[in-house]
Amino acid sequence: MSPDQQIYSRVYSLILGLGYDTYSYLPGDVAYPFVHIGEQFKQNERLHKDRLNAQTQLTVHVWGNDWRRRGDITQMMYAIEQAIVKEFGVRGEDISTQLITDNSTNTPLMHGIVDINITY
């Protein structure tokens, strides 16, 4: 298994372990809130004799459909962030979060985004 896939799989397991409905794809008709582990990008840094150093960025999406429960979404984002920091030793400046409104459906959605930069 590639290092990128190992990181993706570990993040997926961590989020499941937090008790959140988690998907590797954007699901159809499911209950809110849920987590979708989305995009992953990689940049090579340096090739050594025995390995390649790289960075990978992984985007975790948290979706909710009730603005009265905004705190639930931000709490989920915080728990995900803390689990990843603990597991991978990620520095604070290597994680960014944002919460935006998504009006692409009949019901306005809360879209939490957690971007993680992991060096290996």
Give the CATH number, domain containing residue 95: 3.30.2000.30
Cβ atoms of residues 111 and 104 within 8 Å: no
Task: Look at residue 54 and tell me if it is in a domain.
Answer: yes
When comparing pLDDT for 52 and 88, which is higher? 88
Task: Look at residue 118 and tell me if it is in a domain.
Answer: no
Number of domains in the chain: 1
Structure confidence at residue 78 (pLDDT): 97
In the predicted structure, residue 44 carries a pLDDT above the cut 90:
no
In the predicted structure, residue 49 carries a pLDDT above the cut 70:
no
Amino acid at 8: Y
Mean pLDDT, rounded, for 27-52: 86
Structure confidence at residue 105 (pLDDT): 87
Residue found by looking up tokens 């290597």 in the block? 94
What span, in angstroms and rounded, lies between the C-alpha atoms of 102 and 109? 5
Mean pLDDT, rounded, for 11-16: 98
Please state the separation of Cα 29 from the chain's center in Å: 20
CA distance between the termini of the chain: 14
Amino acid at 86: K
